[in-house]
Amino acid sequence: MTLQQGKRRRAAARALVASALLGAFYLLPWLQPGGKPALLLDLTARQFHLFGMQLVPEDAQPLLWLVTACIAALGLLTVLCGRLWCAYICPQTVLTRVFRGLDRLTTFDGIARPLGPLLRHGLWAVIALWTGITFVGYFNPIGQLVQALHPFALNGWECFWIAFYALATWANVAHLHEQVCTHLCPYSRVQHLITDANTPIIQYNAPRGEPRGPRGVGEASVLHRSRGLLDPVTASDYVFRAAHPAIAGAMPKFAPIHLGDCTDCNACLQACPIGLDIRNGHTSNCIECSACIDACDDTMARNQFPEGLIHRAHLADTESTTVRRLRVKPLLFAAMMALSLVLMYLSAGGPL
């Protein structure tokens, strides 16, 4: 797969997933198969409508097992494929991409520079308000909710929750961005408990990239030079020295023939929405959005180097450990998901 094909494939996957999730969120409260809401948690009547089923609180046990199965499925997806949830599915990630898409939409030559941010925040305020209305529409019939907007006949609690979720959506995405992922989201805090050494993560190939430094276009990659790859210990030492110059001292000067493939352009650092330098090692704050991969591959292409200096790989491959054929965590998550689905079926009235 070529560089452009890989970028287009990732961009298409993000756009497809975002469109599906946003379409489901905004349209689901309006669906009424058989004249009944497809999804409505009616707190006043203490009823839960789920695709034609009408449940009362005493019938909620199957839903609890379904939630447990979904949690196990997320764990299984994470241990097998990495943080695809953060990169593609998380509502914070999806809405942040929509907000940044508005930035590109509202910055063109036909709009004066001062008006671009105002238009972007105005559009985002409308989206945030409709998001708040939609969210409350999962608890109150959304048709009645929208009809009450025109004469403004909403009750106090409806106004409060619409304003609350609209403001939360606007502030989280417009100002906090990925800081929510870094400081507030518990999912990143339990990564080390979910993943194992065979879970793919985004990594920097230090033996190939170090020592880093600028060079002229046209020089061959280390993969095509006699220098070859550094040993992991030496490469790690160069990474530490580059990341901590105050402690390790300034890096020595290297002739271009001895440099690695990293041109020290900092494109990966500038592309990262959190501001992480993946060359310093993978951290739990990384949401694995692949922005650093795309930025680095662009630099490799400009220098006529092979792509993949930053790539997704297993930690076991990097540490030269033996890949275990039997992985315990995927089996545990799969068993937990299967058991939860069976218990959901039985608690819903299935045969014993």
Instruction: With H, G, I as helix, E, B as strand and everything else as coil, classify residue 28.
Output: helix
Tokens 């879970």 locate to: 199
- H helices present in 85-155, as ranges: 91-105, 115-136, 142-147
Q: Which residues lie below 8 Å from residue 181, measured CB to CB, with a gap of 6+?
A: 86, 90, 92, 93, 188, 274, 285, 287
CA distances from 332 to 49, 70, 74, 179, 277 (A): 32, 14, 12, 31, 33
Buried b (16+ CB within 10 A) or exposed e, 105-142: ebeeeeeeeeebeeebbeebeebbbebbbbbbbebbeb
Cβ 93 vs Cβ 287: under 8 Å: yes
The CA distance from 170 to 162, in Å, is 12
Q: Tell me, what's the pLDDT at 110?
A: 52
Burial zone of 84 (CB within 10 Å; 0-12 exposed, 13-18 middle, 19+ buried): middle
Burial zone of 195 (CB within 10 Å; 0-12 exposed, 13-18 middle, 19+ buried): buried
Q: Tell me, what's the pLDDT at 133?
A: 93
CA distances from 302 to 68, 212, 223, 265 (A): 48, 16, 16, 12
pTM over 0.85: no
Q: Which residues pair with 202 in a beta bridge?
A: 312
Q: Which residues pair with 42 in a beta bridge?
A: 47
Instruction: With H, G, I as helix, E, B as strand and everything else as coil, classify residue 310.
Output: strand
Q: Tell me, what's the pLDDT at 299?
A: 92
Q: Tell me, what's the pLDDT at 188?
A: 83
Cβ 44 vs Cβ 37: under 8 Å: no
CA distances from 193 to 74, 141, 190 (A): 13, 40, 5
DSSP 77-91: HHHHH-SHIIIII-H
Mean pLDDT by 10 residues, the chain (352 residues): 71 89 93 85 83 78 90 94 90 89 68 68 90 92 86 82 92 84 85 88 93 84 88 91 84 86 93 91 86 92 91 72 72 96 83 50
The CA distance from 32 to 151, in Å, is 25
